Structure 1
Amino acid sequence: MGLCFSKAETKDDDSDHHVEFAAGKVHLITTKEAWDQKLEEANTSGKIVIANFSATWCGPCKVVAPFYSELSEKYESLMFLVVDVDELTDFSTSWDIKATPTFFFLKEGQQIDKLVGANKIELEKKITAVADSLPPNRI
């Protein structure tokens, strides 16, 4: 299971780096206001949110990003978000992020599950479980 614990000494400043993290139906969150808006949208539509706290310099984050995007296409009843821990440092700290990637599963704004690390098998298992927990008309 891949984890990144500390920020790399050199940070690439490539503006294309978000493209790989926010492909498919993954929404890139760059402000606290955008986060609040997406959570409100999810609550209104009855969707469960999967929030991926990651970093552009994190190897395991880069490896799991395309898979996360694929899952976002497959499970349209869920809302997939990605938060760059370096862009939203204070916000990420408030979620007690100790390693990246960290995935939070939120229902009505409350944490119902969590996964730390780029474990694709476990991530898909957890996403399938939350999707299966939704009423049939939501899927």
Structure 2
Amino acid sequence: MPGIVTVTDKDFEDVVLKSTSGRPFLVYFWAPWVAQCKEMSRHIEQIAEEHDELVVAQINIDECPEVVADYGVHALPTLLVIREGQTDGKWQGVMTKDMIESKVL
């Protein structure tokens, strides 16, 4: 996905929590085997391309069990907003692009 940073258990803290960019992160928890994630991925990609004021990060839950457990991700897709290292919102389930933007921006 263009404009989207892939993060892992190893680099989540450094890339997202300790970021000095001053921009909020939209963190997208997904899995390739979940149909709803395939549907929502196009919205996430559009948001990443259109909103320079955000950093969009994606986490494949199959590859990052520590971050998934730390943030209590039990359903997919899940979105988090992290501002200055702190969680500022969490949503689960498929959302339209407009819904995501209204919650995040």
Query: Number of paired residues?
Result: 103
The C-alpha deviation readout for 1:2-28, integer Å capped at 9, x for no partner, is xxxxxxxxxxxxxxxxxxxxx121111
Q: Answer yes or no: is 1:117 the counterpart of 2:86.
A: no
Q: Which amino acid aligns with 1:111?
A: T
1:28 maps to what in 2? 6
Q: Which amino acid aligns with 1:26?
A: I
So what's the TM-score if we normalise by structure 1?
0.69
Q: Which amino acid aligns with 1:25?
A: G
Q: Which has the higher contact order (CA 8 A, sep 6+)?
A: 2
Aligned runs of 1:41-120 on 2, under 5 Å?
A: 41=19, 44-120=20-96
Structure 1 residue ranges, 4+ long, deviating more than 4 angstroms after superposition: none
Question: 2: CA distance between counterparts of 1:75 and 1:24?
Answer: 13
* Contact in 2 for aligned 1:115/1:123 (Cα 8 Å): no
1:4 maps to what in 2? none
* Contact in 2 for aligned 1:49/1:105 (Cα 8 Å): yes
The C-alpha deviation readout for 1:56-97, integer Å capped at 9, x for no partner, is 101010111011011011111111001011111232112111
* Contact in 2 for aligned 1:102/1:116 (Cα 8 Å): yes
- Aligned residues: CA RMSD: 1.3
So what's the TM-score if we normalise by structure 2?
0.90
Q: Secondary structure of the equivalent of 2:81?
A: strand
Q: Secondary structure of the equivalent of 2:41?
A: helix
Aligned residues: percent identity?
22
Q: Which amino acid aligns with 2:37?
A: C
Larger Cα Rg: Structure 1 or Structure 2?
A: 1
More helix by share: 1
* Contact in 2 for aligned 1:28/1:81 (Cα 8 Å): yes
